[in-house]
């Protein structure tokens, strides 16, 4: 009799365990993916871009290599049905450029910046701006970039160039490329969705991306997104410093994004871009290729 009871209990335990496993497996087959950082929380986000640009001008090849790393502090001031209000503060800024004219570098956390022509960028550190973000990750409004531009300073030409990159609207578009990734609905493992984004580049063109996201993995409150994008570049609608230009540059982007599922926190994002083609300006055609590796990491404080 004891053996019968023991057999029944063992069978019941195995059945219960299997039922729990199946329930967990079903629960991990879909997830609600949205931007859902909690009010009062703070995060450090680090973006790093390694880029190599090759141009051919009148038969001469010119290479520009640069690496930029920026640390931001995100302070979530509000999270409601309309989205999030995030106070964003520059924590550090570093850039290294290698051009045919020589190398330039600046690191806000280093002391040997006295002679760097880029040292005015260090005035960004400690300055803040406000982002308003929808649950889909779309940056709907940015406020405070003018104050940061004023802090950087520079002559009128420098300010005009920086404004094309760091005005409220330009910065909003730039941040959308990294953050406007969420479908804001329940997504099944293996399901895909599309989003488009655009951002200004170098004050002369804008990059348009057609992004395809797939929820490729889902486990332990972590979602893995696979990203494939088509890239096309066009002249800025507001005009550029080069006047009328023709742009024939296209490319692709591929990468992986890791999310903390319940909060939507991007813990890791790695993208690789390849762009080729040419630019025609002032009667001159310039073949060009751009290779970029873009990494973003986020962690709660």
pLDDT > 90? residue 127 = yes
pLDDT given at position 188: 96
**Distance set, CA 183 to CA 99, 176, 222 (Å):** 40, 14, 16
- Identify which of 183, 267, 285 has the alpha carbon closest to the alpha carbon of residue 224: 267
- Who contacts 143 (Cβ-Cβ below 8 Å, separation ≥6)? 129, 130, 168
User: Which pTM does this prediction carry?
Assistant: 0.85
- Domains for the chain: give ranges and CATH numbers: 29-300 (2.30.230)
- Does position 165 have pLDDT exceeding 50, yes or no? yes
The per-residue b/e assignment along 94-112, b for 16 or more CB within 10 angstroms, e otherwise, is: bbbbeeeeeebbbbbeeee
pLDDT in tens, 187-225: 999 999 999 998 887 667 889 999 999 999 999 899 999
């Amino acid at each position: 009799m004891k053996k019968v009871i023991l057999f029944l209990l063992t069978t019941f335990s195995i059945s219960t365990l299997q039922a729990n496993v199946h329930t967990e497996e079903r629960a991990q087959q879909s997830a609600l993916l949205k931007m859902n950082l909690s009010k009062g929380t703070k995060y450090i986000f680090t973006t790093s871009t390694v880029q190599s640009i090759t141009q051919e001008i009148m038969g001469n090849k010119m290479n520009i290599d640069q690496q930029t790393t920026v640390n931001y502090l995100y302070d979530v001031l509000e999270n409601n049905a309309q989205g999030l209000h995030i106070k964003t503060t520059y924590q550090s800024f570093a850039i290294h450029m290698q051009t045919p004219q020589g190398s330039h570098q600046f690191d806000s956390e280093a002391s040997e910046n006295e002679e760097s022509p880029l040292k005015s960028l260090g005035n960004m550190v400690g300055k803040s701006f406000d982002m308003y973000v929808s649950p889909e990750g779309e940056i709907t409004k940015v406020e405070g970039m003018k104050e940061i531009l004023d802090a950087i300073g520079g002559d009128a030409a420098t300010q005009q160039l920086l404004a094309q990159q760091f005005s409220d609207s330009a910065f909003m578009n730039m941040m959308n490329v990294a953050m406007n990734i969420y479908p804001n609905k329940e997504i099944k493992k293996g399901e895909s969705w599309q989003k488009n984004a655009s951002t200004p580049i170098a004050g002369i063109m804008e990059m348009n991306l057609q992004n395809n996201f797939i929820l490729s993995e889902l486990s332990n409150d972590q979602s893995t997104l696979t990203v494939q994008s088509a890239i096309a570049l066009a002249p800025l609608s507001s005009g550029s410093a080069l006047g009328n230009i023709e742009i024939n540059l296209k490319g692709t982007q591929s990468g992986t994004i890791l999310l903390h599922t319940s909060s939507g926190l991007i813990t890791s994002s790695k993208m690789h871009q390849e762009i080729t083609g040419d630019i025609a300006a002032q009667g001159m055609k310039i073949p060009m290729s751009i290779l970029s590796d873009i990494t973003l990491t986020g962690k709660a404080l």
